[in-house]
Amino acid sequence: MNLFDVYTKYNVDLVKAKGAKLFCSEGKEYLDFYGGHGVISIGHAHVKYVQALTKQLNDIAFYTNIIKNSIQVELAKKLGELSGYADYNLFLCNSGAEAVENALKIASFYTGKNRVIAMKNAFHGRTSGALAATDNPTIWSEFNKGHLVSFIDLDDKQALLSAFEKGGIAAVIIEGIQGVGGVYEGSEDFLSFTRELCNANEACLIIDEIQSGYGRTGKFFAHQHVDIQPDIVTVAKGMGNGFPVAGVLISPKIEAKKAMLGTTFGGNHLACSAGIAVLDVLKEDELMENAIKMGDYLRTELIKIEAVKEVRGRGLMIGIVLENAKDIRNKLIYEEKIFTGFSNPDVIRLLPPLNISVFEADLFLEALKSVTKQVLV
């Protein structure tokens, strides 16, 4: 059987990883400033993470959601405490798209409405509703087009008002910081206005923190840099440091009803032990503090590089705007042995593990200087 060929792949076969280091089948070492698309939060093969998963695998890896599971309760408690959302409730699932799909459904159940306002440039995942709220018609199927979604520009208050005038709005969904779209964030003024309009129209405000959350920006959630409180928050990626686990944080005003949502694998024992290990390490190793420190350091040094036109983002979610970003990314991988992310049209996206060191940051900065000199001569 062949693989269903949907990915354009880099020709590097990774076989081992530790911290921010990756090793390929040919024994070559790479530096990970991509985190496998923002997934690696506490670093590859962190000792406490490996120990926790190994122990759990030996104890019990999985059982169904209709049987009591105290590890889920522990995960929810720790997530509530560290995120500042202790009074919210947690629904556990398996991937970012699934978290968004459930968030949209929860908003629709709660409000009894079906229309969604999403942002231009947004990416929310590949399931039906999540994809309909993703501003990329090239990846929509006819099946996804049945959802009622209005796209507006981030920060366009007038467009938001007009979209609300259509009526029937169940939710406004906004990324904490747009990742795939190129590392853009809404202004505090726009986000506060959105919160007010959601209140006035009895709609839910959903903040998608799948890429920007879990300490990446130096606060637990990117939206916590401003003074707003969403009704629903989606999490995934960094939550499991590579183990598939995702969640929806739900305001206490939204009441759960039996059988309203469900999943076979979501919140299984192994996934929860990964989630707990990540939260423990984030706290004990002070990784949010490191994200601020290293983010500030990288930003300060990046803007000194001649080819860099702009640096966006917060903490260790960084968008570097420069010409020929795609070529630069390829050279970084194949010549400098450094993985980074990319956003159209010309953004190198950094999503490294949150425990990178100054030494590793300097390796990246030197490599970027060298590559930009070659590409932009």
Ligand X SMILES: Cc1ncc(COP(=O)(O)O)c(C=O)c1O
Which parts of this chain interact with ligand X (CB under 6 A)?
37, 95-97, 100, 123-125, 175, 179-180, 208, 210-211, 236
Nearest to ligand X of 56, 234 (CB atom): 234
Nearest to ligand X of 99, 270 (CB atom): 99
Nearest to ligand X of 222, 371 (CB atom): 222
Q: Which position's Cβ is nearest ligand X?
A: 96
d(CA 268, CA 53): 12
Which residues fall within 8 angstroms of residue 151, CB to CB, at 6 or more apart? Answer: 117, 118, 119, 120, 122, 135
Q: How far is the CB of 96 from ligand X (least distance, A)?
A: 2
Q: Where are the alpha helices (DSSP H) in the chain?
A: 35-38, 47-59, 70-83, 96-111, 128-132, 157-165, 188-200, 269-284, 287-302, 325-334, 358-375
Which residues fall within 8 angstroms of residue 89, CB to CB, at 6 or more apart? Answer: 76, 249, 250, 252, 254, 256
Nearest to ligand X of 133, 281 (CB atom): 133
Q: How far is the CB of 219 from ligand X (least distance, A)?
A: 17
Q: How far is the CB of 373 from ligand X (least distance, A)?
A: 31
Quickly list DSSP for 33-75: SSHHHHT-SS-BT-HHHHHHHHHHHHH-----TTS--HHHHHH
DSSP-derived secondary structure letter, 224: G
d(CA 156, CA 172): 13
Nearest to ligand X of 37, 105 (CB atom): 37
Nearest Cα residue to 181 out of 6, 303, 313, 331:
313
Count other C-beta atoms under 10 Å from residue 286's C-beta.
Answer: 14
Q: Give residue 221's identity as a one-letter amino acid code.
A: F
Q: How far is the CB of 131 from ligand X (least distance, A)?
A: 10
Q: How far is the CB of 286 from ligand X (least distance, A)?
A: 25
Is residue 181 within 8 Å of 123, Cβ to Cβ? Answer: yes
Mutual angle of helices 287-302 and 358-375, in 10-degree steps: 30
DSSP-derived secondary structure letter, 255: P
Q: How far is the CB of 38 from ligand X (least distance, A)?
A: 7
Nearest to ligand X of 181, 295 (CB atom): 181
Nearest to ligand X of 118, 228 (CB atom): 118
Number of alpha carbons in the 13 Å side-chain half-sphere of residue 289: 5
Nearest to ligand X of 9, 304 (CB atom): 9
Q: How far is the CB of 195 from ligand X (least distance, A)?
A: 19
Q: How far is the CB of 177 from ligand X (least distance, A)?
A: 9
